Each structure stands twice: as structure tokens, then as C-alpha cells.
Structure 1
């Protein structure tokens, strides 16, 4: 009983000391906008504060009972009592920290929003003219796609597949732009990777016979069944309602009918494309890329892959040594430090490739509005050529500002 009373007293003293010091620590954390400043590791401060608090309690106990206190202290250590104490103190302080952050969150959000706007203005000053060309190029791609979609004729399976993939390409290009101009150049590069996949797809579907597009559209049933199986497997852990027997049976039936109609290879990855690669046991994106004539873009594709996956190379690419204090830093948010020229111009080219394949596919089936479509394609091609210079000029200015150090041919 005496030990428990002593323990309670020590805990109260330690927690009281921590409580009195927490507002200072917390106000600094909020004021800095939750930024991980290397020169002021705030969470380490709280950890050191806890250790200091228990040191103070220990010294007080030794001063009051120098002979008997060490044995009591050791017994508490052996019983693991201080682990419970530390957890209790941490829980109480975490509640206080959370409450204070919730209360100050609107002010924090306003400060962060001001930072975002300042960064956006800096980005526009350097990349703005090239960005305008990007938007015009993407909108022209939209107008050409919309012209075909509203042509008034019943679209063939091939045109349905082409229009769907082209629309996704336009949306993905917009995502590339938003990320790039917001200071997330790695995210923009990652999304360009997806855009490249879509331009490859549109080119392959345009070159192939109608049956390939039919297979591609039907392949959605195979992918849907895979998605369903993964969801069913983890629904309980996710606390979600699993699909019922009727829904599972219908999905399985549709997948089985797809395989029965188009062949067992439809069960494989990229099964829709197997007729294009006679004799192969598997079809990869590398195969599709080669067939589309776009293999020369593979180095950029691999760069985008680094920014998607969790490999160690990606960690190296996420470092910048162009910080004000000259030491390497891990990029944890938006930043002007990065070259977006190649990614954004590459995205414009990918949109043009996808649009050109869409228009070609449409004109192979119909001559309606052919002149308008060809004029639009030529105008888009001009944007690609001229914007290359704009992105180059902007990159020179960004380099001069110290936003990156590599040369245009590095």
C-alpha cells in the first residue's frame, strides 16, 4: 500500500511537471505548422521532458529517504510499474496535445493555405507561359474527342474503347498539370507514367482489328472478378459488408462466359491482347509499348515507376541538396525544387499521341467532319513544337533560381 501511494505521488508529480511545460512545446509545434524542422525536433523535446520529470521525482525521493528509497525504486522497476506510469502520462499528454491541435486546426489550415498560394505564385512566375500552352493543348484534345463522341452515329466497340481510353488520358494529363504546378513534381512524374500507358493502349487499339477492342472491353469482367475476390477476402478486416452469394455468382458467371467466348488466355494478365502476340505465353506492357512504337519512352516510364513504388532508388530521388542551408533534405510536401519541364511536355506529347490515334480510328470508319479533325490535330502538333521551347525557357529560369542543378541534356 505504501509503495502504491508513493507511486501515485511520483506519477502525479511527473505528470504535473509535464503538464506545466506542454503548452510551451505545443504552441511552438502549432506555430511552425507541423513542419519537421531538423533544428527543433519537437517530439524529442516531449520525450526528454518526460525523462526529466521522472529524474526530478527520483531526486526528490532520494532526498527524503536516502536509505530506503533505492530499494523501493528498484522494486517498482522490476515490477514494470514505470512502464504503466509512462504509458499513463503519455496518454494524458496525448489527449491534451490532440485537443489543443483540434482547437487551433483552423488557424493552422489558414497558414498552410497561405503557404500553398505563395508557392503557386512562384511556380506561375517561372512556368506560367508553358502551363498556358499545356492547358490549351489538353482542351484541344478534349474538343476533338467531344467532336467524335457527338458525331451522331452508333459507335463501334473499337470507338467505344478508344473514346474511353482517350478520355482517361485527358483526365490524367490534367492531374499531371495540377500536381506539377502545385509543387509535387514526383507525383506528376508518377501520373505521367499512367498517361503513357493510356497513350500506348489507344495506339495499340487503333492499329489492331475490331476484335481486339471487343476483347479489351470484355476483359473488364475478368478484372471485376479479381477485384471482387480480393474484396471478399478482406471485407471482414475492413469492417465492410461482403458481396452476397447472388452478386458473387453473377460476377463469376460473367467472367466464365467471357473466357468461354474469347478463350482461356483471357484469364491471364493482358489476356485481351494475346492474338497480337501469337505463340507467347504471357503479354507484358513492354510488349504493348513495343507494338505501339513507343519503347523509346521507357527511361521516363521507369523514372515514373520509381515515384510510384517503394524501392530504395525512389528514396534517393526524393532527396534534394538545394536547400538554403546546403544539406540534403527529404522532400515531404510541395516544393519549388524540381524540374517539371520534361514531365509536362511529355504529358502534352502523350495527349497528342492518344488524340491522333483516336482521330485516325474514327476516320477509318467515317469521313464525317474529317477536315475539322485534321485541322485540329495539326494545331495541336504546333502546340507541342512551340511549347517545347516554352518549357525549355522556363527550365532555364528555374535552374538560374537554383531550383535544380542538372542541365537540359543531363
Structure 2
């Protein structure tokens, strides 16, 4: 069916049946509007069925293009991406060995509560690093940097808890019930519009009672955002930014704010995606082989940071040696990511010079 032929035929039929409307502009406009409104359901159904029938071929074409793109990206970034994957695997294995040694039934643990929390944070960090690697291999630098932001938060939090010890580790774990209470309130406000079922009164009461128990134990401020930092950070400064500052990680704030651009809907993240060179004026609706350096090296750094934090809670010669090996891999990883991005930029500059010379 030719585009809009269904609408044209419908309007022609209406005019044939009522030729007098041609002399009345308002009536003609109303007839056309009414025809469009009545025909939209039928037309959309026709287009939907046609697209569904042919979607297999369409998707196959797009998947082939994506496979070819990702193969080229892998060739270009292979050294850097392989080093990042190596770091992730080594970090995971370090965490697994730490758990086997430290949580052995016969092991004597000085920092059980701290170790338990840092192990969980480290496991999450490894998971997020895998997500970053997947996004980088697919050419999504913005998404990778957004996920690095989470990794940075996890790593910084791990250092904060490790530094302040057992009592803070316990409060961090117990704060889960405050978050559960806050989520329950949000659910209660919106479950009807979402089409979900109401929570059982018994479950709600249990959550409320646990919240009240914690508030009674720690004070009203505990239920506020970052309330688990109570007793460490002063009132009015209980934020992630102040956790960063207390751990001397505030120099990462520049990258953190950069990552925020690709988490939120502001103009900077919309107009200047990481995958586009600033002098290239075009929209980027999908993947790019450019811009991987910042999220790549940042992910390596944060992952090594939290793995080192874990390995030094209960330090042994073997764990300190593993931490040093990770540092050596990290130095090479950062160099590879930066060098590869610079190669792309230099190639682009040469291409622009040749194009300008041809024009002249």
C-alpha cells in the first residue's frame, strides 16, 4: 500500500458522497479531521501487522551490521579491553580466595563485620565492572561511564567503612531496613496506578516496627539519607560528596560530575555524548568506537582500589603481592586506553586535513 493512499481514498469517497462540503472550508476541515481519527486504528493495525511480518529480516540486517561494528571495535581496542577483562577476572579470583581463607570455620577474624560488608561491596563492584566491559565492547561509552559512577560510589564506600570499622559496618547493614521502609512508603503511594496489589498490613507493620526500633536505637537522624554515617559525618554533611572528601577521594568529583551528565537528562549529556568528537556535528543514536578511554581506565582504577581495600583488611604477604600485581596491570591498562583513543583522534585529524586539501 502506498503511503497515505488509504487516507486519500477515504477522503475522496467522502467528497463524492457529499460534494457540497467542497464549498464550506469549515465543514471540509471537520470531515478530513473526522476521517483521519476514524482511520487511525485501521491504518496503525495495518502498519503493525506489516512490520511484525517483516521484522525478522529487518532485525537480521541490523544484527549483522552490529556484529561487523563490534568486530571492528574489538580489533581497535583489543589490548585495552583484554587488560580490563584480565583485571576483572583477577579481582574476582582475589575476592573468592579471600572468602575461602577468611571465612573458613577455623579462621580467626579480627574484623568480621567489616570483612563481611567489604566482601559484598567487592562482589557488587566486580559485577558492575563486568557491565562496563559489556557496554564498552558494544561501543556505548556514555552508559559505561554511568555504570563507572556506581563503581566509584561502591569503592569509596568500601574504603569509608574499612577506615571507620565495626560499628559503622553494622550501621551500614542495618540501614537496609530504613531503605526498605522508604521504598514501602513509595510503593504505598503508587501501587494502584502501577496496577499492583496492596501490601499486606502485617508486612507493612513489620517494616514500620523495624524502622522505629532503629530510630529508637540510633536517633531520628538515622532514618534520613546517609543516616548510617551518623556519628562519623557531622549533621548537614552526610552525603556521598562528604564521604569522598573524608577519604581524600574528592579529586574524582570531576569525573563523577561528568558521569552525571550521562545519567540525567541535562543538555550537556544530550548534546555532547562521549562517543562523538566535539568538532564532529552529528547525532549519535547508537554505538561509537570513540570515547572508551575515560570509562575504561576509570573502571580499572576503581576496581583495583576496592580489591586492594579488600585484600588489606586482613593483610598477608600473598594478598599484598596480589594487590601489587593488579597495580602493574592497571598501569598498562590506562596507557592502552589513552593511546588507542589518541590514535583515533590523530587519524581523524589526518582525514580532515586531506578533505580540506581536496576542497582547496
The runs of 5 or more residues in structure 2 that have no matched partner are 352-360
SS of 2:199's partner is coil
Kindly indicate whether the alpha-carbon contact (under 8 Å) linking 1:180 and 1:188 is maintained by their aligned counterparts in 2. Answer: yes
Kindly indicate whether the alpha-carbon contact (under 8 Å) linking 1:319 and 1:330 is maintained by their aligned counterparts in 2. Answer: no
Distance 1:246 1:59 in 2: 63
Relative to the length of structure 1, the TM-score reads 0.78
Say whether residues 1:397 and 2:343 are aligned partners.
yes
Aligned to 2:300: 348
Q: 1:319 to 1:171 in 2, by over 3 A?
A: closer
Say whether residues 1:21 and 2:2 are aligned partners.
yes
Kindly indicate whether the alpha-carbon contact (under 8 Å) linking 2:122 and 2:306 is maintained by their aligned counterparts in 1. Answer: yes
Instruction: Determine which of 310, 315, 335 is the counterpart of 2:270.
Output: 315
Aligned length: 345
Relative to the length of structure 2, the TM-score reads 0.88
Aligned to 2:312: 360
Structure with the greater alpha carbon radius of gyration: 1
Q: 1:59 to 1:146 in 2, by over 3 A?
A: closer
Aligned to 1:332: 285
What is the RMSD of the two structures over their aligned residues, measured on CA atoms?
A: 2.8
Say whether residues 1:377 and 2:323 are aligned partners.
yes
Kindly indicate whether the alpha-carbon contact (under 8 Å) linking 1:170 and 1:351 is maintained by their aligned counterparts in 2. Answer: yes
- Once the two structures are superposed, the pairs formed by residues 3-402 of structure 1 within 5 Å of their partners are 20-22=1-3, 53=8, 57=12, 68-71=20-23, 74-77=26-29, 80-151=30-101, 152=104, 153=107, 156-278=112-234, 280-318=235-273, 328-336=281-289, 338-363=290-315, 370-402=316-348
SS of 2:192's partner is coil
Shift of 1:131: 0.7
Shift of 1:59: 12
Shift of 1:84: 2.5
Kindly indicate whether the alpha-carbon contact (under 8 Å) linking 2:151 and 2:302 is maintained by their aligned counterparts in 1. Answer: yes
Shift of 1:247: 0.6
Instruction: Provide Cα deviations, 1:378-407, integer angstroms capped at 9, x if missing partner.
Output: 1100001112221122112222343999xx
Shift of 1:262: 2.2
Shift of 1:281: 3.0
Kindly indicate whether the alpha-carbon contact (under 8 Å) linking 1:188 and 1:343 is maintained by their aligned counterparts in 2. Answer: yes
Instruction: Provide Cα deviations, 1:88-133, integer angstroms capped at 9, x if missing partner.
Output: 2222111111001111122222112112111111111111011111
**Greater CA deviation, 386-395 or 267-276?**
386-395
Instruction: Provide Cα deviations, 1:333-356, integer angstroms capped at 9, x if missing partner.
Output: 2222x3111210110000011111
Shift of 1:76: 5.0
Shift of 1:75: 3.0
Shift of 1:50: 7.5
Shift of 1:210: 0.8
The runs of 5 or more residues in structure 1 that have no matched partner are 1-19, 23-45, 364-369, 406-410
Distance 2:51 2:13 in 1: 32
Aligned to 2:354: none
